């Protein structure tokens, strides 16, 4: 029997449109920096992809900087050397929420003393009162701030109050970077509506190939004065090196497909997630669904059952033919306690039990039902005193 894949937040299966675009791109011979016909054909594919990625977030195509992935995009964005108009003074401090991806929590290119964390609430959303208070203090001190807050958390799926945060940040003279990796293609991500000055995307979370991403700069006034990779001047001087034509073609095709199907996929996946959570609670009434009372991505369920260790459960589900994860899948397969749940106020015992189930556009009712059947078997085996659960 075919396996059931319920780990879309780790990576999404390749969309057919992306596969077709990549195969076609592999037939091209030219370097996109060459001026001959072959080079211009490769360049045309890249610029088409740039326009498709920009359209997904309502940005101008020329504001898209292609990278090797979201980690590089985040690192490119998180630099003190961000110029705003004619003001070339560096940023003094980076504020990040306590639930950010490790590539943001490490502070990018800010010095260790130039990084601070903003707490989150028990629901898993950034604490706006704490953010406003800290911004006010920094503004009074004359500090120049860059803030990074993800649009939706990769573990809990909780959607962050980005618009409100952006108003506070801009009122204090700060700039806002948004990691939209998990949100793009699942919920609307228009940069203007969000108020994001910089925004990071990842191809493989959308159903494009791994190894491609983008940093998008909302306006011409914001200039990154310190490229990570210098050399031939590609990406308008923001990122040197010959572009990965096939990967970017696939990225663009995936972005276009996700944009065109956003409303329908949101509806479809929401229903499947609700079905999963309903059955989860029936089979394991003691399950805790994290962020259940907050706005979440339509595809994500992070849950725990006290006494059931996540690493053991994930392996057991894998043996039953079901792929899930024990939280974020960004640490080379390592199973570590969740900093997200710790930030939300949950103790290490429950955090070590957290299992993430994430769905996608090709997930079916049968997949969900098979996932629940596998979980029921695992739950009975691993959970003490489970003899009386519902049939």
Q: Which residues are catalytic?
A: 330
Is residue 76 a contact partner of residue 65, using CB atoms and an 8 Å limit? Answer: yes
d(CA 258, CA 156): 22
Reported as type and span, the H/E element at residue 25 is: helix 16-26
CB count within 10 Å of CB 261 equals: 14
User: Cβ neighbours of residue 144 under 8 Å, at least 6 residues apart?
Assistant: 89, 90, 91, 92, 93, 173, 174
d(CA 182, CA 359): 12
d(CA 331, CA 336): 9
d(CA 188, CA 21): 24
What are the DSSP E strand ranges found in 181-290?
198-202, 213-217, 222-224, 288-289
- Residue among 256, 241, 275, 257 at smallest CA distance from 359: 275
CA 318 to chain centre: 24
User: CA 43 → CA 20, 29, 253, 298, distances in Å?
Assistant: 18, 11, 15, 36
d(CA 34, CA 231): 16
d(CA 289, CA 304): 7
3-state secondary structure of 256: helix
């Amino acid at each position: 029997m075919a396996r059931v894949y319920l780990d879309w937040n780790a990576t999404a299966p390749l969309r057919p449109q992306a596969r077709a675009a990549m195969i076609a791109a592999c037939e091209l011979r030219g370097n996109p920096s060459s001026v001959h016909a072959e080079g211009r054909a490769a360049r045309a594919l890249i610029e088409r992809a740039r326009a498709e990625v920009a359209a997904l977030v309502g940005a101008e195509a020329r504001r898209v900087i292609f990278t090797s992935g979201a980690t590089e995009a985040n690192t490119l964005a998180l630099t003190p050397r961000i110029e705003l108009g004619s003001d070339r003074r560096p940023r003094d401090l980076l504020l990040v929420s306590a639930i950010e991806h490790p590539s943001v929590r490490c502070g990018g290119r800010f010095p260790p003393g130039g990084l601070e964390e903003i707490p989150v609430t028990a629901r898993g959303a950034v604490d706006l009162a704490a953010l406003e208070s800290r911004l006010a203090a920094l503004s009074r001190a004359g500090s120049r701030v860059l803030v990074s807050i993800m649009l939706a958390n990769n573990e809990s799926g909780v959607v962050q109050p980005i618009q409100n945060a952006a108003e506070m940040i801009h009122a204090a003279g700060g700039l806002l970077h948004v990691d939209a990796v998990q949100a793009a293609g699942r919920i609307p991500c228009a940069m203007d509506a969000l108020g994001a000055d910089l925004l990071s995307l990842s191809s493989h979370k959308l159903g494009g190939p791994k190894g491609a991403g983008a940093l998008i700069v909302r306006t011409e006034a914001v200039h990154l004065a310190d490229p990570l990779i210098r050399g031939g001047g590609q990406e308008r001087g923001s990122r040197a090196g010959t572009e990965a034509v096939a990967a970017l073609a696939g990225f663009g095709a995936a972005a276009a497909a996700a944009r065109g199907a956003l409303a329908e996929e949101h509806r479809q996946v929401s229903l499947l997630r609700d079905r999963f959570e309903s059955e989860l609670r029936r089979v394991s009434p003691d399950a805790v669904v994290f962020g259940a009372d907050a706005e979440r991505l339509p595809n994500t369920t992070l849950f725990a059952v006290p006494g059931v260790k996540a690493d053991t459960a994930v392996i057991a589900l894998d043996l039953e033919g079901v792929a899930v994860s024990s939280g974020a899948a960004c640490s080379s397969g390592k199973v570590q306690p969740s900093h997200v749940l710790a930030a939300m106020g949950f103790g290490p015992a429950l955090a070590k039990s957290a299992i993430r189930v994430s769905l996608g556009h090709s997930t079916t009712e049968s997949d969900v039902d098979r996932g629940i059947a596998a979980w029921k078997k695992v739950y009975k085996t691993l959970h003490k005193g489970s003899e009386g659960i519902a049939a």
